[in-house]
Amino acid sequence: MSSSDVILKGVGLHKFFEGVHALNGTSIDLIEGDLLGVVGENGAGKSTLLKVLVGEHDKNSGEIFYRGKEVNWNNPYQAMLEGVGLVHQRPYLVPELTAAENIFLGKEFTTKHLLDASTLNKKAEELLKKYPINLNFDLSLLASEMSAGQREITEILKVLSYDPKILILDEPTASLAKDESEQLMIIIRQLNKEKNLSVIFISHRIEEVFDLCTRIVVLRNGKRVGEVDRNDFDKDKIIYMIINRNLSEFYPSKEGQQGDCFLEVKNFISEDLKDISIKVDGGEIVGLYGLSGAGMTELVESIFGVEAINSGKLYLHGQSMKSIKTSELINNNIYFVPEDRDIKGLFKDFSIKENLVISHIAHLLPGFLINRIKEKNIVKKGLKDHNIIYSNIDQEISSLSGGNQQKVVIAKWLQKECDVLILDDPTVGVDIGTKREVYLILRELTKQGKAIILVSSDILEIIGMADRIYTMREGAVSAELSGNEINQKNILENVL
């Protein structure tokens, strides 16, 4: 590689956020026509690096070069005009505008000094046909009414409308459906092949990075710790570089002592569930695994009183509940971490502090007036205990990385004594380091004699974490596996 091959380069970049050294002498070079992956655990500096490169964050020191010349862009728009486009992990859209209007914001079409809405909508439709991530996407939808995936599609189309020479993507598939993610990969490869598009790609999904990229740069604690070429891609090697430990140490050992039955489901029947009976004892992790739509989410939501059942009984410590009420379950120290943290797990407009105490506020802060000093101490201890990286407890929860947000969802329940913790796919969309931290939290709870119900769409995760597994198929339990029965072959035979 000669210096003339490098189209974008960052050298010795440092960035501080209120005492957090987010980038610590980080360097990166993007070869023209390259498909470069950037991986690292939560807080490694990946998103910060991309934002510094395009001028969204000011660097404290270091140099950035584009086509051999030093640049100091003041904002991403300046970078975009020169051919460097960043697709954000959390898109910046105007809520009151449609998808089409957001795509062409700042370069609207006019006729006789009047906005030409017809041309704008036509051009947006042409753009979607050119880059068909989802041809059924309604471009007239207001941003305020969009799902996370629709917002991501809008952001991607917006950046592609500038015909960039460099496309920088920060977790673009985290909120996309599987078919949309696959279509995006096809589009990226096509642009790379036909237009020599250079790409920097961040994803927590290692397999996705392996499939797309020709090189991988690994970050850890704000530092670049290695680079791997495609011929040397190896999952164990990359994970070791990311978390600084072997893959064999990734899942904590299953050492919990099984106790009495904490929670038992008997004959749950609903529109989605077919006569389901399961139980979980103190000191164990019970896994629920099946194909998408097999009923795992419906089951755990029914246990927690979120979804209604037609018939069946729920027993806590051997006592039957007269009716399944979420409030009563919480009072009995039964808690639930839902599948979609953005919609069901967090108050997105609230601060870190407010999110952390709200589930048990009457217990943590009794009295008519909130003791702010006590609240601050409780929050800081909770954040420290769960290794949550933050700048200020009053910052909006949405400003945290996805991994740190997920740890807040778990930590908010554990501010009070927990008997049973139910989790629905808690590690989806989080980095490898955060996954390991979640696993350690769950195992520590079982060592304390607590009971865990874990839904996971990752078969290796369910094998690595569960002491017993209920496989599910078409809304029913198809098998119960334990001990040496827990392996990929047995699981797949009972879910397919």
Query: What CATH number corresponds to the domain at position 30?
Result: 3.40.50.300
State the angle between helix axes of 148-160 and 117-130 in degrees (0 to 180), rounded to the nearest 10. 100
Domain range holding 158? 3-248
Check whether residue 235 and residue 131 sit in a common domain. yes
In this prediction, residue 246 carries a pLDDT of 62
Out of 187, 220, 248, pick the residue that ends a domain. Answer: 248
Residue 419 belongs to some domain of the structure: yes
Structural contact between residues 475 and 294, judged by C-beta atoms closer than 8 angstroms: yes
Instruction: Show pLDDT as tens, one digit a residue, over the chain (496 residues).
Output: 555 699 999 999 999 987 678 999 999 999 999 999 999 877 789 999 999 999 999 999 999 999 999 999 999 999 999 999 999 988 889 999 999 999 999 888 888 778 889 999 999 999 999 999 999 999 999 999 988 789 999 999 999 999 999 999 998 987 788 899 999 999 999 999 999 999 999 987 888 999 999 999 999 989 999 999 999 998 888 888 887 766 567 888 887 678 899 999 999 999 999 999 999 999 999 999 998 889 999 999 999 999 999 999 999 999 999 999 999 999 999 999 998 777 787 877 888 888 888 777 777 777 666 778 888 888 888 888 888 888 888 888 887 777 888 888 888 888 889 999 999 999 887 777 788 889 999 999 999 999 999 999 888 899 999 999 999 999 999 999 999 999 989 999 999 8
φ/ψ (deg, to 5) at 14: -125, 140
| Rounded-to-integer distance, Cα 73 and Cα 289, Å | 48
**Cβ atoms within 10 Å of 126's Cβ, excluding its own:** 10
| Rounded-to-integer distance, Cα 454 and Cα 90, Å | 27
Check whether residue 102 and residue 193 sit in a common domain. yes
Residue 403 belongs to some domain of the structure: yes
Residue that the structure tokens 């999904």 belong to? 205
Out of 188, 221, 248, pick the residue that ends a domain. Answer: 248
Check whether residue 191 and residue 73 sit in a common domain. yes
Residue 256 belongs to some domain of the structure: no
Out of 248, 272, 296, pick the residue that ends a domain. Answer: 248
In this prediction, residue 248 carries a pLDDT of 62
Residue 174 belongs to some domain of the structure: yes
Check whether residue 265 and residue 219 sit in a common domain. no
Check whether residue 17 and residue 98 sit in a common domain. yes
Residues whose CB is less than 8 angstroms from the CB of residue 205 and which lie 6 or more positions away in sequence, other chains included: 173
- When divided into structural domains, the chain yields a total of 2
φ/ψ (deg, to 5) at 474: 55, 45
Check whether residue 212 and residue 136 sit in a common domain. yes
Residue 254 belongs to some domain of the structure: no
Residue 9 belongs to some domain of the structure: yes
Q: What angle do CA 162, 76, 81 make, to 5 degrees?
A: 35
Residue 253 belongs to some domain of the structure: no
Name the pTM for this structure.
0.67
| Rounded-to-integer distance, Cα 378 and Cα 401, Å | 21
C-beta pairs of 128-136 under 8 Å, 24+ apart in sequence: 128/157, 131/156, 131/157, 131/160, 131/187, 132/183, 132/187, 133/157, 133/176, 133/180, 133/183, 133/184, 133/187, 134/177, 134/179, 134/180, 134/183
Give, rounded to a whole angstrom, the gap between the first and last alpha carbons of the chain.
48
Check whether residue 227 and residue 330 sit in a common domain. no
| Rounded-to-integer distance, Cα 406 and Cα 16, Å | 23
Check whether residue 279 and residue 418 sit in a common domain. yes
In this prediction, residue 434 carries a pLDDT of 82
Check whether residue 341 and residue 448 sit in a common domain. yes
In this prediction, residue 4 carries a pLDDT of 61
Instruction: Identify the bridge partners of residue 476 per DSSP, sorted by sequence position.
Output: 473
Check whether residue 401 and residue 443 sit in a common domain. yes
Three-class SS string for the chain? Answer: CCHHHEEEEEEEEEEEECCEEEEEEEEEEEECCCEEEEECCCCCCHHHHHHHHCCCCCCCEEEEEECCEECCCCCHHHHHHCCEEEECCCCCCCCCCEHHHHHCCCCCCEECCEECHHHHHHHHHHHHHHCCCCCCCCCCCEHHHCCHHHHHHHHHHHHHCCCCCEEEEECCCCCCCHHHHHHHHHHHHHHHHHHCCEEEEECCCHHHHHHHCCEEEEEECCEEEEEEEHHHCCHHHHHHHHHCCCHHHCCCCCCCCCCCEEEEEEEEECCCCCCEEEEEECCCEEEEEECCCCCHHHHHHHHCCCCCCCEEEEEECCEECCCCCHHHHHHCCEEEECCCHHHHHCCCCCEHHHHHHHHHHHHHCCCCCCCHHHHHHHHHHHHHHCCCCCCCCCCEHHHCCHHHHHHHHHHHHCCCCCCEEEEECCCCCCCHHHHHHHHHHHHHHHHCCCEEEEECCCHHHHHHHCCEEEEEECCEEEEEEEHHHCCHHHHHHHHC
Check whether residue 91 and residue 143 sit in a common domain. yes
In this prediction, residue 3 carries a pLDDT of 56
Structural contact between residues 129 and 145, judged by C-beta atoms closer than 8 angstroms: no
Check whether residue 303 and residue 223 sit in a common domain. no
Residue 45 belongs to some domain of the structure: yes
